[in-house]
Amino acid sequence: MKMDNMNPEEKAGNIEEQKQEQGHSNKGALTSSLIFVGGFIFALYIAIYWLYMFRVDI
């Protein structure tokens, strides 16, 4: 095993890097989810608005 030969400082640095990568991954997932939900709500708003326009015949 390669990690057994590493000194404790390198192991701590490796663990810290993995935590940072996980944090970035979570942040990206949250951002893309919010964009998706926002886009869905916007599309729903447009659809309801168009249906109202055609029904009222403005």
The one-letter amino acid code at 7 reads N
Q: What is the pLDDT of residue 1?
A: 47
Give the pair of three-digit tokens for residue 53. Answer: 């326009």
What's the pLDDT band for 35 if we cut at 50, 70, 90? very high
Q: Please say if the pLDDT value at position 58 is more than 60.
A: no
Answer yes or no: pTM beyond 0.75: no
Q: Distance between CA 11 and CA 33 in Å, rounded?
A: 33
Cβ atoms of 35 and 27 within 8 Å: the answer is no
Mean per-residue pLDDT over the chain, rounded: 76
Between 19 and 51, the higher pLDDT residue? 51
